[in-house]
């Protein structure tokens, strides 16, 4: 495992040190981070089109980071990926993710988003990255609770269409040699293990279809986030380290009653302030030999973001496990001898 790293999306702003890549690289390095995950929609940090075209530009980006002992861990297209599949009910709310020229034009907006993903595949390749973060978008989310009853075949049709929209993009990432990692997230059609399996099957088990694992979204669904790693470790190529808590009461539960984040039973917290068992998670990743980055994503509804960022690096660093190259009881080994083994078993 590599890290700690930090996702910059929640920190970018107009004031230093949050206004440019050089300033942010210096800031996160001062906090103890070794990597940054860059949101590609933030032109203050990266020119995605130029990164897809120019190795020189990518080397400049890497140089800016390396001056401060920082690496680029991954790129993100969460906002653009959302626009690959938008149900009409959400058109107006998601228009803000796209340039003004394609707002109010769903087909053109989707085409723009698809091109953005393909640019991100090439930019990732040019930066020497092997994984990329995104959202799947959603056609079925409004039918999550089956009332009225879902018509037969609706779910299958939805996942066939979703896979069809992503197939060419996945092929583009395959050509670039980069894994496309979908953050499993409520609001997306890929929001748990079952829905990921449906999508994976609909893509023909595409070799570049992978998972960004974020346990906070599983705790809020009351899903076993540790066992999830047992099931899907071969497909988990990215890791957002984000805490959460779930405290249901007599008035509100998983659905939250349309309350603000700070009043919901399920809410995101800074690392160490929630209920996630990160010791168990990091142990699971050590067990299965996870080789990606551990990336802080800060989304606390209470704590100041700068405090959350400052506390995040040492928290992740303390949980990372350097895996052993020998067994703890090797000192008691009696060696390998097939004849001796047979004698011990009473066979000779």
Question: For the residues 11-23, what does the mean pLDDT come to?
Answer: 97
Q: Answer whether residue 334 shows pLDDT above 80.
A: no
CATH number for the domain harbouring residue 234: 3.20.20.150
Q: How confident is the model at residue 107 (pLDDT cuts 50, 70, 90)?
A: very high
User: What is the average pLDDT score of the chain?
Assistant: 97
Residues 301/19, Cβ–Cβ less than 8 Å: no
pLDDT one-digit tens code per residue, 282-292: 999 999 999 99
pLDDT at 336: 79
Q: Answer whether residue 348 shows pLDDT above 90.
A: no
pLDDT at 103: 98
Question: For the residues 130-148, what does the mean pLDDT come to?
Answer: 97
First to last CA, the chain: 46
Question: For the residues 41-64, what does the mean pLDDT come to?
Answer: 98
This model's pTM is above 0.85: yes
In the chain, the largest separation of any two C-alpha atoms, in whole Å, equals 82
pLDDT at 246: 98
Q: How confident is the model at residue 115 (pLDDT cuts 50, 70, 90)?
A: very high
pLDDT at 330: 80
pLDDT at 259: 97
Name the burial class of residue 93, with classes exposed (0-12), middle (13-18) and buried (19+) by CB atoms within 10 angstroms of its CB. exposed
Distance CA 270, CA 243 (A): 6
Distance CA 308, CA 211 (A): 25
Tell me which H or E stretch contains 217. Answer: helix 215-219
Q: Tell me how far CA of residue 266 lies from CA of 135, 179, 250, 326, in angstroms.
A: 21, 31, 14, 41
Q: Sort strands 266-269 and 243-246 into parallel, antiparallel or unpaired.
A: antiparallel
Q: Answer whether residue 34 shows pLDDT above 90.
A: yes
Q: How confident is the model at residue 337 (pLDDT cuts 50, 70, 90)?
A: confident
pLDDT at 216: 98
Distance CA 207, CA 210 (A): 8
Tally the domains of the chain: 1
Q: Which residues contact 266 (CB under 8 A, 6 or more apart)?
A: 219, 220, 244, 245, 246, 247, 254, 256
Distance CA 252, CA 197 (A): 30
pLDDT at 189: 98
Q: Answer whether residue 332 shows pLDDT above 80.
A: no
pLDDT one-digit tens code per residue, 151-191: 999 999 999 999 999 999 999 999 999 999 999 999 999 99
Residue 95: domain span: 2-344
């Amino acid at each position: 495992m590599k890290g700690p790293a930090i996702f910059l999306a929640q920190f970018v702003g107009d004031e230093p040190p949050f206004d440019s890549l050089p300033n942010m690289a210096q800031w996160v390095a001062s906090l103890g981070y070794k990597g940054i995950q860059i949101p590609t929609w933030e032109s203050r940090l990266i020119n995605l089109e130029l990164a897809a075209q120019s190795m020189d530009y990518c080397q400049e980006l890497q140089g800016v980071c390396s001056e401060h002992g920082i690496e680029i861990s991954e790129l993100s297209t969460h906002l653009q990926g959302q626009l690959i599949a938008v149900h009409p009910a959400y058109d107006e709310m998601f228009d803000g993710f796209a340039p003004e020229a394609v707002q109010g034009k769903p087909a053109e907006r989707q085409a723009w988003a698809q091109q953005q993903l393909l640019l991100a595949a090439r930019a990732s390749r040019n930066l020497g990255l092997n994984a990329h973060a995104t959202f799947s978008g959603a056609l079925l989310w409004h039918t999550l609770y089956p009332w009225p009853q879902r018509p037969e075949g609706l779910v299958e049709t939805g996942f066939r269409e979703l896979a069809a929209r992503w197939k060419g993009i996945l092929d583009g990432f395959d050509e670039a040699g980069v894994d496309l990692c979908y953050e499993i997230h409520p609001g997306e059609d890929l929001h748990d293990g079952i829905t990921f399996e449906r999508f994976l099957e609909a893509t023909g088990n595409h070799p570049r279809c992978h998972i960004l694992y974020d346990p906070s979204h599983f705790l809020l669904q009351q899903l076993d986030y540790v066992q999830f790693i047992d099931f899907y470790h071969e497909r988990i190529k990215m890791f957002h380290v984000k805490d959460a808590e779930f405290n249901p009461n007599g008035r509100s539960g998983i659905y939250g009653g349309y309350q603000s984040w700070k009043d919901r039973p399920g809410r995101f917290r800074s690392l160490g302030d929630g209920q996630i068992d990160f010791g168990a998670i990091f142990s699971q990743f050590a067990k299965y030999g996870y080789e990606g980055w551990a990336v802080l994503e800060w989304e606390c509804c209470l704590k100041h973001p700068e405090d959350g960022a400052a506390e995040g690096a040492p928290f992740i660093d303390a949980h990372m496990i350097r895996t052993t190259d020998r067994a703890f009881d090797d000192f008691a080994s009696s060696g390998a001898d097939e004849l001796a083994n047979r004698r011990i078993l009473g066979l000779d």
